[in-house]
A and B are shown apart, each in its own frame.
Chain A
């Protein structure tokens, strides 16, 4: 089997909070193969954005990586020297951020910003960089690229800014693109357009995609595999159709049931009772146990390790939920 392009193993990221040190990312593990799209899904606070930032060591002063490995092409990113890290950023791994307008420098034109990144990754003249910038803008399907190149971020809509953000991420021809909630700040129609764009770009470049999101609809449209994160680690991972067809972990089931369904007519929302534990107060046993309707005695004593329910389908749960309660997709949708 081919070695994975990106392998995150038991990653731990610590923040200092008012209640003491908190491992917001607490044993996060997943892999992405070349060309594959993995969706990292979970509620706010489950550590998915922090994980994405940790992969490129962009956490700054707030968070510290205190354990685990992040292997890209076999090399541990956490051990890289600054110069090697810089070679990785933008060139091997690109990143697209959640707030499209805020991730662009407001006092520089879009064209200037893209040209700057182009020149950072390949020695070329200003003219060549400019040409390449226009080419990238065309690639992300921006109408009238010359005009957009001269424009400033505050003159463009959120969707257009995000396309520029994608263009910037592609400038170094990366093999992995990390998209951290790329459509959360945008309208639904723009979401669909960006979803299509990402799919097309992937087909063109063959790059892998790590999609961090809480939007299961977006995930269904883009992902090959899905990893569900809860309280700092992955509780279930499976190919996308399998996850929607036969979810095993009680949390996954709760998430899917909580999706409002337009076809199902009026029915009360089923929320998962309780709330996510504060990262500083994560228990040493199964973190979902207090909210779980399937819990048994061992759930309150030990943290379950992931086990394979089927090839490629892993669940971290003591209970064989699939056996006790067959899954009926809500509203009859598959």
Chain B
């Protein structure tokens, strides 16, 4: 008789995962449907004399000092942030994953060169590099994604390499090799699925992290440029009209925090679900 792991921690983990995935789905939907959901044009300037005001029936989150509807700007900002976050994470994840895979599978000079390179690049503080490039370029959305991705793949590469390294030397890969399977088959069917878990978790966490960096950049005026609404820029604008129009600064702040929180939770839930060993265990020693 085998016992199924329906222990309390396992069920709680599954519930957490479902909740996190649901939030993620909502986020993606908002990002996709923002143009439909936003009640107003985010750039539409209102009546400059009487047009601004506190949250009201007409404007659920109020307007800024130019009369622009905060809710609409928030929704469009979500679209921008999540797009940048998602694309960056995908790009950086692919890059980091490939490098990590290559380094982990081919030990020796290839591994050494790749990892020394990663070490070198890791010495560069990411924020400074991003500011450097953004300062010299005034990037558009695609360039921003490229900049963020090329500075953010290092951690993923290390993680994937460590995992692949461990798996490639594991007993079942040895067994596969002893059975005469081709290296490609081994890499694809045995190594990759087992190395995928930290990659997925890392990519998810990267979405939140990228949004953090991107909103910081926009806050400084170096990120997404003016006509496009962005949460970071909204916070900066909100500072100027605090405390009279306090909602202009507060709402994007809450939005950023909640989004990053959701990404982190999703990453945690994925990690718990994909690698049961990392979850806390109780029971007979």
* Chain A residues at the B interface, C-beta cutoff of 8 Å: 15-19, 22, 24, 62-63, 279
Q: List 8 A-B contacts (CB under 8 A).
A: A15-B284, A15-B285, A16-B282, A18-B5, A19-B3, A22-B284, A62-B284, A63-B285
A63 to chain B, nearest CB (A): 8
Min Cβ gap B20→A in Å is: 26
Q: Is A18 in contact with B7, judged by CB distance below 8 angstroms?
A: yes
- Chain B residues in the interface with A (C-beta under 8 A): 3, 5, 7, 282-285
**A16 vs B3: C-alpha distance in the bound complex, in angstroms?**
14
6 additional A-B residue pairs with CB within 8 Å, beyond A15-B285, A16-B282: A15-B283, A15-B284, A18-B7, A22-B284, A24-B284, A279-B284
CB distance from A163 to the nearest CB of B (A): 27
A57 to chain B, nearest CB (A): 16
Q: Which residues of B contact A18 (CB under 8 A)?
A: 3, 5, 7, 283
Inter-chain CA distance A226–B70, complex, in Å, is: 82
Closest 4 CB pairs of A and B: A15-B284, A17-B284, A18-B3, A62-B285
Across-interface contacts of A24 in B (CB, < 8 A) = 284
Contact residues of B: prevailing secondary structure? loop
In the complex, A22→B284 CA distance in Å? 9
Cα-based distance from A15 to B284 in the complex (angstroms)? 6
Closest CB-CB distance, A28 to chain B, in whole Å? 17
Which residues of chain A are near B284, meaning CB under 8 Å? 15-17, 22, 24, 62, 279
> Bound complex: CA of A63 vs CA of B5, how far in Å?
21
List the A residue with the shortest CB-CB distance to B7: A18
Closest to B6 in A: A18
Q: Nearest Cβ in chain A — how far from B148, in angstroms? A: 41
Bound together, the chains give a CA A63 to CA B285 distance in angstroms of: 9
- Quick one: closest B residue to A16, CB to CB? B283
Contact partners of A63 in chain B: CB under 8 A:
285
Q: List chain A residues, Cβ under 8 A from B7.
A: 18
Task: With both chains docked as a complex, state the minimum distance between the C-beta of A321 and any C-beta of chain B, in angstroms.
Answer: 31
Q: How far is the CA of A17 from the CA of B282 in the complex (A)?
A: 8
- A19, B282: Cα distance in complex, Å: 12
A residues in contact with B285, CB < 8 Å: 15, 62-63
Bound CA span A304–B282, Å: 34
Q: Which residues of B contact A19 (CB under 8 A)?
A: 3
Closest to B3 in A: A18
Chain B residues with CB under 8 Å of A22's CB are 284
Across the interface, which residues of B come within 8 angstroms of A62, CB to CB?
A: 284-285
Contacts of A16 in B (CB 8 A): 282-284
A186 to B5 CA separation, bound complex (whole angstroms):
36
Residues from chain A with Cβ under 8 Å of B283 in the complex: 15-18
**Once bound together, how far apart are the Cα atoms of A146 and B284, in whole Å?**
41
